[in-house]
Structure 1
Amino acid sequence: MPLDSKRKAHQLAPHSRIESDADCFRNRFTGELFADYDEYIDTLFSYQARQWTCAMTGKVQLTFEEAMNSEAKAQKKVDDAFPDVFVEPLCKTVHMSQIRMDELIEAAFQRLSAFIPGEVV
């Protein structure tokens, strides 16, 4: 979820229950519903302001939509670069580990280095 430069993390604004026959305004980025037009516009302007940061890449001064797209692209790159066959062994190495971070990284590297390219797993 994109980070707001004014807040630590973005949280969707809670909305009161809106009657099914009442007019409401929907934010296309987040799906938030607003019964009050002024509140909707204020929120929309905050999403369009260049105050957002991509949580994965650290890119700054993005709009909310740009930050969401940046995060989606970064996540896809990670998913494409990290084969699914490595997920289980890595999770087994990391899960509930109580060793120091540098030792954990080394253990994970050693575990993944044991695989040979082309090996049937």
Structure 2
Amino acid sequence: MKNLTLVIGASLNPNRYSNIAIKRLRDKKLPVLALGLKKGKVLDVSIDDEKQDYSNIDTVTLYLNPKRQEEYYNYIIGLKPKRVIFNPGTENMEFVKVLKENNIESEIACTLVLLSTNQY
């Protein structure tokens, strides 16, 4: 799948930014996978509650605070995404450095803003 996005920190709560991001990505007809604490669905996107061996991930968009990201470092690197987006509140310079060392681009930005300005 082209431009496949993995949302990490996905929530079933419609007021959470990760939930809104899934909806906006799907509005733009972009393929989405989601990983969160609870299984469920947002539109046609199933949220997995365990790390999966996904392939062909273009973008990982993070909705986890820096402390919670630590357990995902190796997992995300293993997925070999082209880029990782650090949404507001998820900025983590340590992880940015690790990503760079693994030739993975990172962007400190807001997925919702990138989508609304056609920069995604």
Where on the TM-score scale, by shorter chain, does this alignment land: which range? under 0.3
Per the normalisation by structure 2, the TM-score is 0.21
Answer 1 or 2: higher relative contact order, Cα 8 Å, separation at least 6: 2
Q: Which has the larger radius of gyration?
A: 1
